[in-house]
Amino acid sequence: MADPDCRCEGMAYEMFRGLSKNEQDKEWLERHQIRYDVTRIPGKVICGEWIKTKGHYHQPAPDGHAYPEIYEVLDGEALYLLQKEDLSDIVLVRARKGDLVLIPPGYGHVTINPLAETLLMANLVSSAFTSEYHPFETFQGAAYYIFADGKKERNPRYPDSIPHIREVTCYGKVLPHPFPQQALYSCVGDEQSLAFLNKPGSYLEQYQILFLFT
């Protein structure tokens, strides 16, 4: 949190990892090293900030590029604060129910619930790696803090040279092929649309035409 002395009671958020509707789906996900998760973030303001996740980076895949991740807003609204590992780019993505947000290789990210109602979101990610939380722990959060009054404040523990936040709204925008075009769970069993999760280096051109960069 921005306030190092911030204290609060109760749960920050819940994560339900490795979910599946049946044994067939579970077997397919495990065989393809893919994990389907659901996260629930209550509507809450803590020490002036909208409640948020801890934030993490992804490790490199065997092809040398960091694993990506894809989110779907199931209910509520979300702010996804992305920051490139070298801090050359920082993006705040606004998403609503039904929107898909793809986190490209090399970006750490924090999810923020900007409403008083509960945010429910799903994600698909490779099960071949573990998330790296240490950088966000070391710097006490992401490069910017997002406050409930709309203020965005630079984290003073980061270099003065970090860029300003770029803001992107993805309401209703569709991801390019071959990335998922529909509800994430409906992609279970579709090897082609989820291949990018374990082979990030094979999709470098496609990442560049995401709405994040246009």
3-class DSSP string for 57-78 = ECCECCCCCECCEEEEEEECEE
- 30 confidence band (pLDDT: 50, 70, 90): very high
pLDDT at 15 over 90: yes
- 8 confidence band (pLDDT: 50, 70, 90): confident
| Average pLDDT for 111-118 | 97
Q: What pLDDT score was predicted for residue 23?
A: 98
Q: What are phi and psi of 67, to 5 degrees?
A: -65, 140
Window from 5-9, 61-65, 87-91, 155-159 with minimum mean pLDDT: 5-9
Q: How many C-beta atoms lie closer than 10 Å to residue 63's C-beta? A: 11
Q: What pLDDT score was predicted for residue 108?
A: 97
pLDDT at 134 over 80: yes
| Average pLDDT for 132-157 | 96
Cα separation, 162 vs 159, in Å, equals 6
Going along the chain from its start, the domains and CATH numbers come out as 14-213 (2.60.120.10)
Please give the share of the chain, as a percent, with pLDDT higher than 70.
100
| Average pLDDT for 130-152 | 96
Q: What pLDDT score was predicted for residue 9?
A: 86
Q: Which residue has the higher pLDDT, 173 or 213?
A: 173
**pLDDT averaged over every residue in the chain:** 96
Q: What Å distances lie between residue 161 and 4, 90, 138, CA to CA?
A: 22, 12, 18
Radius of gyration of the chain (CA): 17
